[in-house]
Amino acid sequence: MPTTSVSSAQGSGVRMPTWFVPHGGGPCFFMDWNPPYAWNRMGDFLKGLAATLPQRPKAILMVSAHWLESSFDLTGGAAPELIYDYHGFPPHTYELKYPAPGESQLAARIAALLGQAGLPSKVNPSRGFDHGMFIPLMLMFPDADIPVVQLSLNSNLDPQIHLQLGQALTTLRDERVLIVGSGMSFHNMRGYGDPRFGPISDEFDGWLTDAVQAEPEQRHQALIDWAEAPSARMSHPPRAEEHLLPLMVVAGAASADKGQRVFSDRVMETTLSAFSFG
């Protein structure tokens, strides 16, 4: 499938926002659930996001909670396969398709930007797209006709490094690259479905919303120190905070732009939210 080089968008005067979106539970939007309406509002939110953009993206950079490496790795293939990295779901969910093209030039450009920032990275031409990428994008951009590069998290789970990662990517927004962090604002597997975690998730979500909506300098420091927040470690257990780190990346890429909570819902007894910057 032919694609337009991202660099051709430079000077367009269009700056893309950055997004942190919840990707739900496995392939939850494409199967029956109990209760049946559990993920409906989140699914409707994701389906409506593209209409809020100032212009169609030239490409998407997706940061998924489901890819951790010792460096910041990038997909570099022309047509990455899907990785069905969820378990115990109905057979048809392992046949879902999202044939979005890759974009090797964008991957190389991102690697160069990270190198300039002193952040080790490499392009992996054989890596596929995991469900943190294709499940939300199937709702957000169902035609799968926008090139996508997926970027890993660093397995050190350092929030400051991930903010710096985002800061190194800021210029891509002026090239009509949409930077999306795919994770969950609450991700304690023991808490889902347990009403005792409702107030816990509420407390952390309130703090997180205030942090995101603060002035950028204050926002960045709060996110670096997120583990000290009320109910933080009950919402993201130690060494399992990978679902929060994509937020650090998109907040860093937001630079001086303000952030806001754009969606929140009670799902499986916990509060889950989405945030937008710019």
* Sequence-ordered list of residues with C-beta below 8 angstroms from that of 122, at least 6 positions apart, any chain: 71, 73, 74, 111
Question: In the numeric block, which tokens belong to residue 95?
Answer: 């046949």
Confidence of residue 13 (pLDDT cuts 50, 70, 90): confident
Domains of the chain (ranges plus CATH)?
14-277 (3.40.830.10)
- How far apart CA 172 and CA 5 sit, in angstroms, is 12
* pLDDT tens string 229-241: 999 999 999 999 9
Average pLDDT, rounded, for the chain? 95
pLDDT (0 to 100) of residue 222? 98
The answer to whether the beta carbons of residues 252 and 167 sit under 8 Å apart is yes
Region 140-165 average pLDDT = 98
Region 76-96 average pLDDT = 98
Q: Is the pTM of this model over 0.85?
A: yes
Q: What single-letter DSSP state applies at residue 253?
A: H
Q: Kindly provide the b/e burial profile for residues 184-195, where b requires at least 16 CB atoms within 10 angstroms of the residue's own CB.
A: bbbbbeebbeee
